[in-house]
Amino acid sequence: MTRCNVLLTGATGFVGRAIVEELILQKYNIRIALRNICTYVPRGVVPIKVGDMLIDTNWQNALCGVDVVIHAAARVHVLTDMAVDSLAEFRRINVEGTLNLARQAVSAGVKRFVFISSIKVNGESTAHGRPYTTADEPSPVDFYGVSKYEAELGLLDIAAKSGIEVVIIRPVLVYGPGVKANFLSMMRWLNKRAPLPFGAIDNKRSLVALDNLVDLIVTCIDHPAAANESFLVSDDEDLSTTELLQRMAVALGRPTRLLPVPTGLLKAVAVFLGKRDVAQRLLGSLQVDISKTKETLGWTPPVSVDVALKKTAEDFLSRQQY
């Protein structure tokens, strides 16, 4: 079977590296767009230096002969944001840079543009038992979510005017081997066997294993029903923060030491400490309904939550220094 030619942006990121590995396994012809050719490039992958992703970036060499673009590069959350106008900076890369690439993809004859967006386009939280769907009115809150939504609108407009097929994928929180940020912090605390005050949290949150997200992205490369559609993606099993900690502890082979502190008290302490956003992520709900994704594409997540947590834990433990 002859595989199409794929250009991937964001190939050095957490999700991008996993996409490259899967594309290699499935024998796609792969090009990766890089700022600088100074990182390890897997065998059989063609690196193309394009520089920064801006409104005037020249993609001509990278796009020549390409059938499908998978656009995973973006400006994500910046802990110490020094930009004078943060929203403008997000728009400069995530909107203007994305649409510049898409317009040049049209000119180059690219057939499909797969855009990795974010659940933040929908919003930051859901009422318990009322998950987001793609039919919901988008309600982004932060600058990142706003920029992703504006990019989606621009891409759909380009598709309507040109005929290029656009596929939009909105992942929830992604975890897997090499995960960073809050998920990594959670594993560190569990690995230390530290008692944690999260034993009585009755929320529900959707997560997506890296393997499941990558499987969906690759499915969308050439699935005929994916054209000009938007998809939410998760593991299709929602967990409370308490359940996640319990199952992650099992994956790590560590005892669960969770104290049943009332949620109301945790919220009050978080607000007092100026950590309202942290409290929302730990105590609030954010669920997605992936029925459309499953029905439209005939797709189901290939990896279970417990298998994915075990894989994540094994990678974490292998990196620890004793």
Q: How far apart are CA 160 and CA 163, in angstroms?
A: 6
Domain membership of residue 198 (yes or no) is no
To the query of whether residue 28 is one of the catalytic residues in this protein, the response is no
State both tokens at 24: 């290699």
Range of 91's domain? 5-176+206-236+289-299
Q: How far apart are CA 95 and CA 74, in angstroms?
A: 9
Domain membership of residue 181 (yes or no) is no
Q: How far apart are CA 111 and CA 132, in angstroms?
A: 29
Q: How far apart are CA 153 and CA 147, in angstroms?
A: 10
| Pairing of β 29-34 and β 165-171 | unpaired
CATH number at residue 128: 3.40.50.720
State both tokens at 134: 């793609």
DSSP string, 119-167: GGGT-S---TT--B-TTSPP---SHHHHHHHHHHHHHHHHHHHH--EEE
CB burial of residue 38 (10 Å; 0-12, 13-18, 19+)? exposed
Domain membership of residue 246 (yes or no) is no
Q: Count the neighbouring beta carbons within 10 Å of the beta carbon of residue 9.
A: 25
Q: What is the pLDDT along the chain (322 residues), one digit of tens a residue?
A: 568 999 999 999 999 999 999 999 999 999 999 988 777 788 889 999 999 899 999 999 999 999 999 999 999 865 444 454 689 999 999 999 999 999 999 999 999 999 999 999 999 999 988 999 999 999 999 999 999 999 999 999 999 999 999 999 999 999 999 999 999 999 999 999 999 999 999 999 999 999 999 999 999 999 999 999 999 999 999 999 999 999 999 999 999 999 999 999 998 998 888 888 888 888 999 999 999 999 999 999 999 999 999 999 999 999 885 4
Q: Residues 144, 149, 175, 322: which is the catalytic one?
A: 144
pLDDT at position 129 is 83
How many domains, in total, are found in the chain?
Answer: 1
Domain membership of residue 189 (yes or no) is no
